[in-house]
Structure 1
Amino acid sequence: MAHMSESSTPPAAAIPAAVSEEALKKAEAYIEEEEGAANRMTGRIAGFLTLVAVIMSLFHLYAAYAIVPTQTLRPVHVGFVLFLSFLIFPVSRRFRHRIMWWDWLAALLSIAVIVYALMGGDDFSDRNTMPDPLDIVCGALLMLLVLEAMRRTAGWIMPVVTVCFILYALFGAYLPQPWTHKGYALGRLVGQMYMTLEGIFGVAVDVSSSLIILFTIFGAFLQYSNAGKFYIDFSFSAMGGKPTGAGRTVVLASFLLGGPSGSGVATTVTLGSVAWPMLAKVGYERNAAGGLLAAGGLGAIISPPVLGAAAFLIAEFLKISYLDVLLMAAIPTILFYLALFLMVEIDARKYGMGNTVFEKVDSVWNLTRRYWFHFVSLISIVVFMMMGYSPVLSVFWATIVTFLVSFLDPECSLLPYSLFRGRGSVLGQIVNSKLVKALEAGSVGVLNVAATCAGAGIIVGVVTLTGLGLKFSSIVIDYAGGSLLLTAVYTALVVWIVGLAVPVTASYIICAVITAPALIKLGVPDFAAHMFIFYYAVLSEVSPPTALSPFAASAITGGDPYKTTMQCWKYTVPAFLLPFMFVLDPSGQGLLLMGSTKALAAANWWSIAQVTLTAAAGITALAAGFQGWMFLRTTAVERTMLLVSGFALVYPGTLSDLLGFGLLVATVAMQQLRMRRVLA
Structure 2
Amino acid sequence: MNVSVEPTSTATVSDEALRKVEEYIEQEEGAANHLGGWLGIFLATAAVIMSLFHMYAAYAIVPTQTLRPIHVAFVMSLSFLMFPVSKRFRHRIMWWDWIVALLAIAVAVYLIVGGDDFTDRNTSPNPWDVVFGVALILMVLEGMRRTIGWILPFISICFLAYAILGEYLPPPWTHRGYGIDRIVGFMYMTLEGIYGVAVDVSSSLIILFTIFGAFLQQSGAGKFYIDFSFSAMGGKPAGAGRTVVLASFLLGGPSGSGVATTVTLGTVAWPMLAKVGYERNAAGGLLAAGGLGAIISPPVMGAAAFIIAEFLKISYLDVLLMAIIPTSLFYIALFLMVEIDVRKYGMGNVIFQKVDTVWNLTRHYWFHFLSLISIVAFMMWGFSPVLSVFWATVVSFLTSFLRRDTAMISYDLFRGKGSISKHFFQSPLIQALKAGSTGMLGVGTTCAGAGIIVGVVTLTGLGLKFSSIVIDYAGGSLLLTAIYTALVVWVIGLAVPVTASYIICAVIAAPALIKLDVPDFAAHMFIFYYAVLSEVSPPTALSPFAASAITGGDPYKTTMQCWKYTIPAFLVPFIFVLEPSGQGLLLMGSTEALAAANWWSIAAVTVTAAAGIFSLAVGFQGWLLVRATMFERVLFCIAGFVLVYPGGVADLIGFGLVLIALLCHWWRGRTSPPAVV
- Alignment TM-score > 0.5, same fold: yes
Look up the equivalent residue of 1:608 and give its one-letter code: I
**Aligned residue in 1 for 2:573:** 579
Verify: 1:313 aligned to 2:303, yes or no: no
Verify: 1:533 aligned to 2:527, yes or no: yes
Q: CA deviation at 1:146?
A: 0.5
Instruction: Report Cα offsets for 1:163-184 as digits up to 9, x if no partner.
Output: 0000000111100000010000
Name the CA distance, whole Å, in 2 between partners of 1:427 and 1:24: 31
Name the CA distance, whole Å, in 2 between partners of 1:362 and 1:346: 26
Name the CA distance, whole Å, in 2 between partners of 1:505 and 1:534: 9
Verify: 1:269 aligned to 2:263, yes or no: yes
Verify: 1:148 aligned to 2:146, yes or no: no
Look up the equivalent residue of 2:543 and give its one-letter code: S
Verify: 1:411 aligned to 2:402, yes or no: no
> Which secondary structure state, in structure 1, belongs to the residue aligned with residue 350 of structure 2?
coil
The answer to which of 659-668 and 270-279 deviates more is 659-668
Look up the equivalent residue of 2:575 and give its one-letter code: M
Name the CA distance, whole Å, in 1 between partners of 2:396 and 2:630: 53
Name the CA distance, whole Å, in 1 between partners of 2:580 and 2:367: 41
Instruction: Report Cα offsets for 1:334-392 as digits up to 9, x if no partner.
Output: 00000000000001101111332244321111111101110001100011011011000
Q: How does 1:557-576 map to 2 (within 5 A)?
A: 557-576=551-570
Look up the equivalent residue of 2:432 and give its one-letter code: A
**Aligned residue in 1 for 2:113:** 119
**Aligned residue in 2 for 1:53:** 47
1:298 corresponds, among 292, 309, 327, to: 292
Structure 1 alignment gaps of length 5 or more: 3-8
Q: CA deviation at 1:424?
A: 2.5
**Aligned residue in 2 for 1:588:** 582
Q: Is the 8 A contact 2:464 2:511 kept in 1?
A: yes
> Which secondary structure state, in structure 2, belongs to the residue aligned with residue 632 of structure 1?
coil
Q: Is the 8 A contact 1:83 1:108 kept in 2?
A: yes
**Aligned residue in 1 for 2:630:** 636
Q: Is the 8 A contact 2:221 2:254 kept in 1?
A: no
Instruction: Report Cα offsets for 1:527-553 as digits up to 9, x if no partner.
Output: 000000000000121010010000000
Name the CA distance, whole Å, in 1 between partners of 2:301 and 2:652: 34
Q: Is the 8 A contact 2:175 2:460 kept in 1?
A: yes
Verify: 1:22 aligned to 2:42, yes or no: no
> Which secondary structure state, in structure 1, belongs to the residue aligned with residue 270 of structure 2?
helix
Q: Is the 8 A contact 2:239 2:352 kept in 1?
A: no
Name the CA distance, whole Å, in 2 between partners of 1:60 and 1:253: 30
Look up the equivalent residue of 1:77 and give its one-letter code: H
Instruction: Report Cα offsets for 1:40-77 as digits up to 9, x if no partner.
Output: 10010000001000000000000000000000000000
Q: CA deviation at 1:485?
A: 0.3
**Aligned residue in 1 for 2:603:** 609
Instruction: Report Cα offsets for 1:434-483 as digits up to 9, x if no partner.
Output: 10000000000010000000000000000000000000000000000000
1:543 corresponds, among 537, 543, 559, to: 537
**Aligned residue in 2 for 1:232:** 226
Q: CA deviation at 1:311?
A: 0.2
2:324 corresponds, among 309, 326, 330, to: 330
CA RMSD of aligned residues (A): 1.7
Q: CA deviation at 1:422?
A: 1.7
Instruction: Report Cα offsets for 1:305-332 as digits up to 9, x if no partner.
Output: 1111000000000000000000000000
Name the CA distance, whole Å, in 2 between partners of 1:326 and 1:285: 35
Look up the equivalent residue of 1:470 and give its one-letter code: L
Name the CA distance, whole Å, in 2 between partners of 1:310 and 1:339: 23
Name the CA distance, whole Å, in 2 between partners of 1:369 and 1:639: 46
1:600 corresponds, among 594, 598, 602, to: 594
Q: Is the 8 A contact 1:264 1:300 kept in 2?
A: yes
**Aligned residue in 2 for 1:449:** 443
Name the CA distance, whole Å, in 1 between partners of 2:108 and 2:629: 65
Q: Is the 8 A contact 1:242 1:355 kept in 2?
A: no
Name the CA distance, whole Å, in 1 between partners of 2:41 and 2:420: 17
Q: CA deviation at 1:113?
A: 1.1
Verify: 1:109 aligned to 2:103, yes or no: yes
Q: How does 1:266-665 map to 2 (within 5 A)?
A: 266-665=260-659
Q: Is the 8 A contact 2:207 2:440 kept in 1?
A: yes
Q: CA deviation at 1:20?
A: 2.0
Name the CA distance, whole Å, in 1 between partners of 2:482 and 2:180: 36
> Which secondary structure state, in structure 2, belongs to the residue aligned with residue 621 of structure 1?
helix
Verify: 1:88 aligned to 2:82, yes or no: yes
2:91 corresponds, among 94, 97, 108, to: 97
Instruction: Report Cα offsets for 1:227-257 as digits up to 9, x if no partner.
Output: 0000000101111222111000000000000
Q: Is the 8 A contact 2:298 2:324 kept in 1?
A: yes
> Which secondary structure state, in structure 1, belongs to the residue aligned with residue 92 of structure 2?
coil
Q: CA deviation at 1:17?
A: 5.3
Look up the equivalent residue of 1:33 and give its one-letter code: Q
Q: CA deviation at 1:667?
A: 1.2
Q: Is the 8 A contact 2:217 2:255 kept in 1?
A: no
> Which secondary structure state, in structure 1, belongs to the residue aligned with residue 404 of structure 2?
coil
Q: CA deviation at 1:428?
A: 4.3
Name the CA distance, whole Å, in 2 between partners of 1:115 and 1:600: 46
Name the CA distance, whole Å, in 2 between partners of 1:333 and 1:252: 13
Name the CA distance, whole Å, in 1 between partners of 2:532 and 2:216: 24
**Aligned residue in 2 for 1:185:** 179
Verify: 1:67 aligned to 2:61, yes or no: yes
Instruction: Report Cα offsets for 1:616-636 as digits up to 9, x if no partner.
Output: 000000000000111111111
> Which secondary structure state, in structure 1, belongs to the residue aligned with residue 299 of structure 2?
coil
Q: Is the 8 A contact 2:530 2:570 kept in 1?
A: yes
Structure 2 alignment gaps of length 5 or more: none
Instruction: Report Cα offsets for 1:73-115 as digits up to 9, x if no partner.
Output: 0000000000100000111111111111111111011111111
Look up the equivalent residue of 2:16 and give its one-letter code: E
Which 4+ stretches in 1 moved above 3 angstroms? none
Name the CA distance, whole Å, in 2 between partners of 1:206 and 1:533: 20
Verify: 1:243 aligned to 2:209, yes or no: no
Q: Is the 8 A contact 1:260 1:305 kept in 2?
A: no
Look up the equivalent residue of 1:388 and give its one-letter code: G
Look up the equivalent residue of 1:439 and give its one-letter code: L
Query: Measured at CA, do residues 506 and 679 of structure 1 come closer, stay the same or move farther in structure 2, by a change above 3 Å?
Result: closer
Look up the equivalent residue of 1:299 and give its one-letter code: G
Verify: 1:166 aligned to 2:168, yes or no: no
Look up the equivalent residue of 1:52 and give its one-letter code: A
Name the CA distance, whole Å, in 2 between partners of 1:679 and 1:43: 65
Q: Is the 8 A contact 1:581 1:589 kept in 2?
A: yes
Q: Is the 8 A contact 2:318 2:589 kept in 1?
A: yes
Name the CA distance, whole Å, in 1 between partners of 2:390 and 2:500: 25
1:137 corresponds, among 131, 134, 137, to: 131
Name the CA distance, whole Å, in 2 between partners of 1:428 and 1:258: 31
> Which secondary structure state, in structure 2, belongs to the residue aligned with residue 357 of structure 1?
strand
TM-score, length-normalised on structure 1?
0.97
Q: CA deviation at 1:263?
A: 0.9
2:71 corresponds, among 68, 77, 83, to: 77
> Which secondary structure state, in structure 2, belongs to the residue aligned with residue 530 of structure 1?
helix
Q: CA deviation at 1:28?
A: 1.9
> Which secondary structure state, in structure 1, belongs to the residue aligned with residue 672 of structure 2?
helix
Q: Is the 8 A contact 1:261 1:306 kept in 2?
A: no
TM-score, length-normalised on structure 2?
0.98
Q: Is the 8 A contact 2:240 2:352 kept in 1?
A: no
**Aligned residue in 2 for 1:6:** none
Of all paired residues, the percent bearing the same amino acid is: 76
Name the CA distance, whole Å, in 2 between partners of 1:93 and 1:70: 36
Name the CA distance, whole Å, in 2 between partners of 1:60 and 1:399: 13
